[in-house]
Amino acid sequence: MKRLLTMNELTISEMEHILAEAEQFANGAVWRPQQQTMVANLFFEPSTRTKSSFEMAERKLGLEVIPFDAGASSVLKGETLYDTARTFESIGVKALVIRHEQDHYFEQLLGKQLNIPIVNAGDGCGHHPTQSLLDLLTIKQEFNTFKGLKIAIIGDITHSRVARSNAIALTRLGAKVVFSGPPEWFDENSGLGEYEAIDQAITTSDVVMLLRIQHERHDSSVETNDYLTQYGLTKEREQMMKPHAIIMHPAPINRGVEIDSELVECSRSRIFKQMQNGVFVRMAVLKNVLEQFEGGTLHENSHQKWSITQ
């Protein structure tokens, strides 16, 4: 695996390989590169969870993280993303983790002279593969299989990176995915799966996967006051869930909107478990791209004609 841009790039066996390695990391396995290895996390959008989770994964692998602050960077001076990435490669960074508000930002990095692996930590409303992988790990730890499971993804499907990546991956792995939430937020023609009314979705699913209402991406003003009652996970709806069914949410949570605040840490909730798993899948992903990226060594002296020291 030379990079991780979207879930679609991964074969099912690659997914399973990453999940297995993530599980090994969860159980205390240790992997470290043989040499001092620097990476950088280029986050062009606010993030606590994903950025900290990658940082933690990197430290646990013994990597050193070169800080990057988009707000104080040369991007302000009009530098292209490609030139920023090439800069980090030039100074000796061996992998880049990038979050960027632009869909498919990574396309401008491909097929050029950039020669280090990219791990996509979220592009616009597009993909967020490590979030999908941590969701998969959490589900697999719970049910030991994806086949035959029914997963309801509820909420802001149009603007959710997670919804898309997850729906596709879960379907490929044999699960049935349905969607619920405000009908106007669901595109019938997306081809991702069917829409179900909220009560039906919640009462019949093994996994109730809530999505965050992304206020910062919404133009239309959704009445968040009514959202919990109409489409959120109330205490009443939680009572209607199947006995073994679990609750997931990518966080950050809008308490009292997508979910009743008291349910956030209830026994069905795997919300903080998902965060724990995030570190382990990111360790696995970073291990794989660093290990297998043969072009990862910089040829520092490639242009050099003379050596100053004999």
305 carries a ligand binding annotation: no
Question: Hey, which residues between 242 and 261 contact a copy of itself (CB under 8 A)?
Answer: 251-255
Q: CB neighbours of 231 closer than 8 A, spacing ≥ 6?
A: 154, 155, 180, 181, 182, 198
169 carries a ligand binding annotation: no
86 carries a ligand binding annotation: no
Residue type, 129: P
Question: Applying CB under 8 A, which part among 7-15, 153-161, 195-203, 299-307 lies near a copy of itself?
Answer: 299-307
Task: Kindly state the smallest distance separating residue 56's Cβ from a copy of itself, in Å.
Answer: 5
With b for 16 or more beta-carbon neighbours within 10 A and e for fewer, the 132-167 pattern comes to bbbbbbbbbebbeebeebbbbbbbbbbbbbbbbbbb
Question: Hey, which residues between 175 and 204 contact a copy of itself (CB under 8 A)?
Answer: none
252 carries a ligand binding annotation: yes
Residue from 73, 171, 203, 204 in contact with a copy of itself (CB under 8 A): 73
Compute how many other C-beta atoms are within 10 angstroms of the C-beta atom of residue 24: 15
Residue from 118, 279, 281, 285 in contact with a copy of itself (CB under 8 A): 279
Question: Hey, which residues between 107 and 166 contact a copy of itself (CB under 8 A)?
Answer: 112-113, 137, 140-144
251 carries a ligand binding annotation: yes
Task: Kindly state the smallest distance separating residue 120's Cβ from a copy of itself, in Å.
Answer: 18
Task: Kindly state the smallest distance separating residue 242's Cβ from a copy of itself, in Å.
Answer: 15
Task: Kindly state the smallest distance separating residue 193's Cβ from a copy of itself, in Å.
Answer: 25
- First and final CA of the chain: distance in angstroms? 40
Question: Hey, which residues between 4 and 33 contact a copy of itself (CB under 8 A)?
Answer: 19-20, 23-24, 26-27
Per CB under 8 A, 235 contacts a copy of itself:
no
Dist CA 104 CA 100 (whole Å): 9
Find the largest Cα–Cα distance for the chain.
78
Nearer to a copy of itself, 52 or 234 (CB): 52
Nearer to a copy of itself, 177 or 279 (CB): 279
Residue 154: strand pairing partners: 180, 210
235 carries a ligand binding annotation: no
Per CB under 8 A, 297 contacts a copy of itself:
no
Residue from 184, 189, 239, 308 in contact with a copy of itself (CB under 8 A): 308
Size of the site for a copy of itself (CB under 8 A): 83
Q: CB neighbours of 82 closer than 8 A, spacing ≥ 6?
A: 108, 109, 112, 114
Residue from 83, 101, 226, 262 in contact with a copy of itself (CB under 8 A): 83
Binding residues: 49-50, 77, 99, 128, 131, 161, 212, 251-252
